[in-house]
Structure 1
Amino acid sequence: MNEEIDVKVTPEERPLWPPLEHSAVQIPPQHMPIPSPQGAPLSHGVEYELPFELQQQGWKKFWSKRENRPYFWNKLTGESLWEMPMVKPQPHFDPITDPLGICAPPPPAPVIPVVHMPNTSVPVPVAKRRASEEIGGPQVKKFVLAGPWDLDVPTNVIILERAPCSYMHSHPEVEAYRCSLLAKLRQCYQELCHSRESIDAPKDSFNRWLMERKVIDTGYDPLLPSNCYPEVSLSMYKEIMNDIPIKLVRPKFTGDARKQLSRYAEAAKKIMESRNAEAESRKVVKWNVDETFQWLRKTVGATYDDFQDRLAHLKQQCQPHLTETVKASVEGICLKIYNLSVEYAKKVKEKSNAILKEHGMELPPPMSMHTTRKVWCYPVQFAIGCPRLPVVEYLPDRDQALLRFQGDTLVINSTHLQKLEHLYRHSCFDDRKFELFIPRVWVMLKRYATFLGLNPSSNNANSDVQDTQQSLPVTVFECLNRTFGVTFECFASPLNCYFKQFCSAFADCDSYFGSRGSFLQLKAVSGSFEAHPPYSEELMEASVNHMERLLGDSPEPLSFVVLMPDYREPTPSALERLESSQFKRKQVTIPAFEHEFRHGFQHVLNKSELNVRSVHGTVIVWLQNSAGHQRWEPSEDRVQALLEAFRPGRERERDRQELLSPTRQGSTSDSKDVLVH
């Protein structure tokens, strides 16, 4: 009971939030603080000798040992004063703008006895609350950060409280091992397709397999599928089958069309002769192939369309018999890849457990939380602490930074590294000194490089893989925030996000930089969202179903601005599912080549390569419940403003205007001091 509070404050450096107090005071159990998701206790009733009205406005009283006098700090605004603050009028409760009654005066709370320390008349705080802009107030300190994002937009999203995740903290050794196994699995997929079906693995099908598996996977590895049903992926099966007997492409010239028809016929004949096909199927395919070769020999001066029509007819006649013949073999490829993934996930888990055991730790079992408590949306938290991490080399190089671990070097633009540091400061509470920042950035970069199957330092702007990571232009995000109150991205990553609150594919390595985990597990109650899912049919359809469940369960304002590619398939697609939703309020389509996206590898490319013209149309649909429609109605003028923000060249115009702004120089100079290691 003789321990003193060690709080040192000078007039020039007043505290932005109260430092940790250590006290031996025994607090009755009924007055113990309730831990919040961010680790900040929410206390009961009156803690300090302040008027009840001041406490409800966020004011708390602390003691400055250096100045030997009390000071007052507001947990909502970050303001600190030496003098007693004035009571401000309470805000009026409005059920529309404040549906949860957050700003309304709460009912009187029971008075908790004030505990005094010996030899001082200043009361000791019963509980310590860490300041967090995510749980209510604005951020404590402003950092000016130049770049194509706005990380200071406050969230308007409220969710149901959730349990901490049971993943192990990011560890470079574990991630390097995991990624080596995934690269091995990707290579095995290529070899199986080549040896069994004499085709190359369909382009990007492995990436789409990973996304399709993540929709249904309930396993323990964040990257490798380990517990999926059904085990045979329908996505992978269809993509392999679509390339049998050969991969068909649209030919450029008539000669190419003739060669493709001949190759298809020859490959179909070879499959039926080398496989254990049924007699009737072999007979049908052989007859059609022979007829095609006779037509090719006899026909002179056939046009491009003639060859294409003949190919379509041959495929229609032969494909059902080819599919039936190779069905078991293709299913075997899909099953082999999944079983290998399960085996590799077990190996990664064993390595993780070995590292944790060295530090006297172990992974907890998955936790479930059934609660109706509503909280401001906060980043994913871990159930266990972080083990000691190995050193990752940080090598600055002009406009880029190199991060190297065990000879594996990853590249990132300096501006994006500063962005990650800003996100880290907002969202990571176990590493205030940034001692673990560089290793965690390396793990995150390694994860996305392996997931996409590319070297992140490769400037291959023509790769289709970048589509899964492409984002909207800055002008579009600004318009969405200004006109529709959007503050949250349902599908993003720390590398391409615009807001500091977003959902992403990997909760374990992205949570330090603000990720709220998987969108399919986010229990949103209210807020305005932007959803631009990766181009995976299964993921897009699951996302629409999840949005409809959220909209149907919540009476509070909830809105989703959903963007999908304008792909019309013969079978029902996720886009058609979206268009038939009962919550659809508005739909517009932007034609192909009349809008742009930001490149999926913007964190390594030059600024001149960032904007990519869209080769397909984009459909925008507003899904809103009644309260959301009332607040963020997609009126004609708002929709037109959004379409104007999509116009090609708008982002470059915005950059030129910002460059000419008189405040630009100050912003740029301030941003240079952001990165601290």
Structure 2
Amino acid sequence: MNDIGGSNNIAVPGPSAWDQLTSSSAYSQNNNDANASAPTTPTKTTPNEPAPMFTANEELHPDLVLQGWRKCWSKRENRHYFWNKSSGESLWEMPRHFDPLTDPLGICSGGTPAPHNSTALKRRPSEDTQGPPMKRFILAGPWDLEVCSNVIIVERPPTLFPHPYPEVEAMRAAYTIRLIKTYEDLCNRRENIKAPRESFMRWLMERKVIDRGFDPLLPSHCHPEISSSMYREIMNDIPLKIVKPKFTGDARKQLSKYAEAAKNLIEIRSAPAESKKVVKWNAEETFQWLRRTVGASYEDFQDRLAHLKRQCEPHLVATVKGSVEQLCSKIYHLSAEHARKIRERHMQLLKDNGIPPPQPPPAPPILRKVWCYPIQFVIPPLRMPVIEYIHERDHMVIKYSHASMPQPDTQYINLTHLQKLEQLYRYNCYDDKKFDLFIGRVWCLLRRYQTFLGNITGSTNEAELTQSALPVSVFECLHRHFGVTFECFASPLNSYFRQYCSAFSDTDSYFGSRGPFLEFKPLSGSFQANPPMCEELIDATLQQIERLLTDSQEPLSFIVFLPEMKESNLPFMSRVEESHFKRKLVVVPGMVHEYRHGYQHVIPKSEIYMKNIHGTMVVWLQNNEGFSRWGPTESRVEALLEAFRPVRDKERDKAQQDAANATILNPATEPTVRSSTTD
């Protein structure tokens, strides 16, 4: 630390990790400073392997040459191999050539046979850099997978989760569906209400904030056992689910139904005599008020309902509290039991295939600063079973069958997003260069998210908000003006960048996931965070961001998108207001901006964008270095607000501007039109 007491001996801080990675001196071989060595991402290549010897390019298909492939000769193995100068990939067999647009999986092409009589010709390195730049296949869609990451992390150990396997994933889906039906049945029989919509999915998210179990989806090791999220949502619907009525008649009916439901609940439950007396008296008073009141306004009924809730709610809560807590505890214990059975089956499959169970690897002797890289596994994967896939019009049908299943489990994905997954797989998967496991892993990915969203029937009308994403124009603006290259909450299906954090580190790791954000510890970089609507998860996210900004001395910036909440008693709202890292806060009003649908990988393109009825808060949380590099200046914030405008509004404004410009350039047009209209 610097001596601020007047001494002249001031310690000069060493170069930061950000400066080491972004300055050209970090890559100089003559740099004598050991701390300035450039961090690298761990790979499976040998660091001291000599440069490959290139052969004539005409022996490869021209498209393969444009993709960066070269034929080389291995002195060690005394045979040819193929090396991609763009990606660093090496293959012993000839790489397959296929059209990624018409044949995204390379199924229709068997590859170009390698010539038998070929001689290896050594080529000077300078020749390899001459000529026009290599053409790269850039996949079109609502994403930009060519953006490189500016995120630095400390090298981390691989995950202890085993590789996903279709049989285990189908088993997990069956147990989760059974758990959802049990939850709905308990709400109906015990509390006489319908299970709150999407509450089970929010329960999974809230539990995963504190879960230390061994299943990536089902909670199995949580303390406390009773979920605050599930308890709160059930209590909000007892004795009746309250929704804001549209008309005065609806407000009158809701008041009458609430009074009747409160009276019936207190009569059939074992409640103290005083509680029964208070609830019944208030219910009867409400009925009398309804009978003698004629022509009451909408506000009168709403005020009367609020008064009735204040009088009855404490007694109703005390009456049903024990029952609701037992319900939450039972769901948790059933989840832990299901997770244990799934784990036992997965370990048995590993044992049958001669793979030992995952064990924690030894800690590395030196923790290096590296570019952010995807999640890696401790153990090798199982061999995938046969997965059927059928190309139907603009989407792919992927089916998995097992002897224990009455019918095949079918998943759907449109071809555009399937090509995206293939591109992400090529970028991030290290153990399957031939794509032998690709289809099976795509099926596991689709099955996991369908299970997580509670979408039992395959309908696309649920949980669309949980998986919704920002518009493409907003991501483009975030990258252009704020240097954002990383998403803190995304999935392989809705991500914009090729690097992101997601809920599941096992199924998503092959497609670029860096694991859950609450376990992610970056040192520097610019991030976008749009957490799902779960109060506990949002609060834990803000706490995580506060810790990261406090611990890092590198440029670190988080642009957080939160739903606008009018209630001031929510914990995460006060955390945002009191944060000393907050640089700016703006609100995008509701109904004037759009989000991309959470099921964009299956629905038609015309239905992808949907209006957001609630406002969106945008908060800049940055340390001093991040603020100096990516601070929210007035021009940058204006550009972001403009990017939020719906596409149709921008097109309409552009058409009007073009028409005005045409009128200015050709002033004779307007009088002619007017005269013809008058005639």
Report the TM range for the smaller structure's normalisation.
0.7 to 0.9
Give how far 1:627 is off: 1.0
- The aligned residue for residue 204 of structure 2 is 210
Q: In the aligned structure 2, how far is the partner of 1:466 from the partner of 1:515?
A: 21
- Among 564, 575, 578, which residue is 1:577 paired with? 575
Greater CA drift, 368-377 or 555-564: 368-377
Moved more, 579-588 or 472-481: 579-588
Alpha carbons 1:561, 1:623 under 8 Å: kept: yes
Partner of 2:534: 536
Indicate how the Cα distance of structure 1 residues 69 and 278 shifts in structure 2: closer, same or farther if over 3 A, else same. closer
Contact persistence 2:473–2:644 (CA under 8 A): yes
- Measure, in 2, the Cα distance between the counterparts of 1:574 and 1:405: 42
- Identify if the C-alpha distance between structure 1 residues 433 and 75 changes in structure 2 by more than 3 Å, giving closer, same or farther: closer
| Aligned-partner Cα distance in 1 for 2:163–2:589 | 44
1:40 is the counterpart of 2:41: no
Give the whole-Å Cα distance in 1 for the aligned partners of 2:197 and 2:396.
Answer: 31
> Do the aligned residues in 2 keep the contact of 1:70 with 1:82 (CA within 8 Å)?
no
Aligned residue in 2 for 1:400: 395
Aligned ranges 1:614-629 → 2 under 5 Å: 614-629=612-627
Query: Partners of 2:158 and 2:649 in 1: how far apart?
Result: 39
Deviations, residues 580-618 of structure 1 (Å, cap 9, x unaligned): 211111111111111111111100111110111110010
> Following superposition of structure 1 onto structure 2, how do residues 165-204 of structure 1 map, counting pairs within 5 Å?
165-204=159-198
Contact conserved, 1:156 with 1:528, CA < 8 A, in 2?
yes
Q: How far did 1:386 drift?
A: 0.5
SS of alignment partner, residue 501 of structure 1: coil
Pair 1:439 & 2:440 matched: yes
Structure 2 SS opposite 1:466: coil
Distance 1:264 1:158, change over 3 A: same
> Is 2:637 the partner of 1:639?
yes
For 1:147, the aligned partner's letter is G
Counterpart AA for 1:429:
Y
3-state SS of 1:597 partner = strand
Displacement after TM superposition at 1:570 (Å): 4.7
Partner-residue secondary structure (3-state), 1:509: coil
Count the aligned residue pairs: 557
Distance change (3 Å), C-alpha of 1:395 and 1:358? same
**3-state DSSP of counterpart to 1:379:** coil
Structure 2 residue matching 1:209: 3-state secondary structure:
helix
SS class of match (1:576): helix
Alpha-carbon distance, 1:257 to partner? 1.5
Give the letter for the 1:153 counterpart: V
* 2:124 matches 1:83: yes
Counterparts of 1:240 and 1:510 in 2: how far apart (Å)?
32
Corresponding position of 2:213:
219
- Secondary structure, counterpart of 1:508 in structure 2: coil
Can you give the 5+ residue segments of structure 2 that lack an aligned partner in the other structure? 1-38, 53-71, 90-120, 402-407, 656-679
Distance in 2 (CA, whole Å) between partners of 1:380 and 1:404 is 27
Residues 489-638 of structure 1 correspond to what in structure 2 (within 5 A)?
489-638=487-636
* Separation in 2, partners of 1:140, 1:627: 36
Cα distance, 1:37 vs. partner? 6.1
Alignment of 1:336-415 (within 5 A): 336-366=330-360, 369=363, 372-406=367-401, 407-415=408-416
1:142 offset after TM fit, Å?
2.9
Q: State percent identity of aligned pairs.
A: 59
Q: CA deviation at 1:576?
A: 3.0
**Corresponding residue for 2:103?**
none
Q: State the alpha-carbon separation in 1 of the partners of residues 648 and 433 from structure 2.
A: 38
Report the 3-state secondary structure (helix = DSSP H, G, I; strand = E; otherwise coil) of the residue aligned with 2:506. helix
Flag the 1:367–1:257 CA change in 2: closer, same or farther, 3 A: farther
Residues 435 and 205 of structure 1: is their aligned pair in 2 closer, same or farther, counting only changes over 3 Å? same
TM-score (norm 2): 0.77
CA displacement 1:411-432 (0-9 Å, x = unmatched) = 1010000000000000111111
Instruction: Tell me the equivalent position of 1:271.
Output: 265
- Post-superposition CA distance 1:249-296 (Å, at most 9, x none): 112222222221111111111111111111211111111111111112
- Which residue of structure 2 lines up, in the alignment, with residue 334 of structure 1? 328
CA deviation digits over 1:24-75, x for unaligned, max 9? xxxxxxxxxxx9864435747x9789xxxxxxxxxxxx86669x9999x998
Structure 1 residue 569: Cα displacement: 2.1
Residue 284 (str. 1) matches residue 288 (str. 2) = no
Letter in 2 for 1:305: E
Contact 2:375 2:513 in 1 (8 A): yes
Go from structure 1 to structure 2 and tell me whether the alpha carbon gap of 1:84 and 1:168 turns closer, same or farther (over 3 Å shift): closer
Q: Is the 8 A contact 2:568 2:574 kept in 1?
A: no
Letter in 1 for 2:582: K
Work out whether residues 41 and 371 of structure 2, in 8 Å CA contact, stay in contact via their aligned partners in 1. Answer: no
Against the structure 1 CA distance between its residues 473 and 554, is the aligned structure 2 distance closer, same or farther, given a 3 Å change threshold? same
Contact 1:456–1:601 (8 Å) recurs in 2? no
- Provide closer, same or farther for how the CA distance between residues 345 and 141 of structure 1 changes in structure 2, counting only shifts above 3 A: farther
Distance across 2 between alignment mates of 1:600 and 1:37 = 32
Retained in 1: the 8 A contact 2:40–2:371?
Answer: no
- Distance between the aligned counterparts of 2:80 and 2:181, measured in 1? 66
Q: 1:478 to 1:221 in 2, by over 3 A?
A: same
Cα shift readout 1:119-153 (whole Å, capped 9, x = no counterpart): xxxxxxxxxxxxxxxxxxxx998322111111111
Per the alignment, do residues 652 and 402 of structure 1 end up closer, same or farther by CA in structure 2, a change over 3 Å counting? farther
Q: Hey, what does 2:422 align to over in structure 1?
A: 421
Give 3-state SS (helix, strand or coil) of 1:507's partner.
coil
The C-alpha deviation readout for 1:294-346, integer Å capped at 9, x for no partner, is 11222222222211111110000000010001000000110000000000001
Alignment of 1:64-75 (within 5 A): none
Decide whether aligned partners of structure 1 residues 367 and 259 sit closer, same or farther in structure 2, where only a CA change above 3 A counts: farther
AA of the residue aligned to 2:449: Y
Aligned AA (2:281): W
- Distance apart, 1:372 and its partner CA: 3.6
Taking the aligned partners of 2:279 and 2:122, their CA distance within structure 1 comes to 87
Report how far residue 246 of structure 1 moved: 0.7
Q: Following the alignment from structure 1 to structure 2, what is the Cα–Cα distance between the partners of residues 84 and 514?
A: 32
Following TM superposition, by how much is the alpha carbon of 1:568 offset from its aligned partner in structure 2, in angstroms? 2.7
Contact 2:162 2:358 in 1 (8 A): no
Once the two structures are TM-superposed, the CA of residue 82 in structure 1 deviates from its matched residue by 1.5
Instruction: Tell me how far apart the structure 2 counterparts of residues 256 and 167 of structure 1 sit (CA, whole Å).
Output: 51
1:643 is displaced (CA, Å) by 0.8
Structure-2 separation of matches of 1:147 and 1:156: 22
Deviation, 1:184, is 0.5
Tell me, in whole angstroms, the C-alpha distance in 2 between the residues paired with 1:70 and 1:453: 51
Cα 1:255–1:425, aligned 2, differ >3 Å: closer, same or farther?
same
**Structure 1 unmatched runs, 5+:** 1-34, 50-61, 89-138, 658-677
User: Measured at CA, do residues 239 and 476 of structure 1 come closer, stay the same or move farther in structure 2, by a change above 3 Å?
Assistant: same
1:77–1:275 Cα change, 3 Å = closer
Root-mean-square deviation (CA, aligned residues, Å) is 3.1
Kindly tell me: are residues 141 and 552 of structure 1, through their superposed partners in 2, closer, same or farther at Cα, counting changes over 3 Å? farther
Shift of 1:650: 6.4
Change over 3 Å in CA distance of 1:145–1:361 after alignment to 2: same
Cα distance, 1:363 vs. partner?
Answer: 2.2
- In structure 2, give the amino acid aligned to 1:597: Y
Partner of 1:108: none
| Matching residue of 1:9 | none
Q: SS at 2:562's partner residue?
A: strand
The 10-residue stretch of structure 1 (360-369 or 259-268) with the greater mean CA deviation from structure 2: 360-369
The 2-side partners of 1:551 and 1:653 are apart by 40
Distance 1:141 1:188 in 2: 55
Shift in Å, 1:456: 8.2
- Whole-Å Cα distance in 2 between the matches of residues 40 and 568 of structure 1? 51
Contact 2:359 2:378 survives alignment (8 Å)? no
1:322 equivalent to 2:316? Answer yes
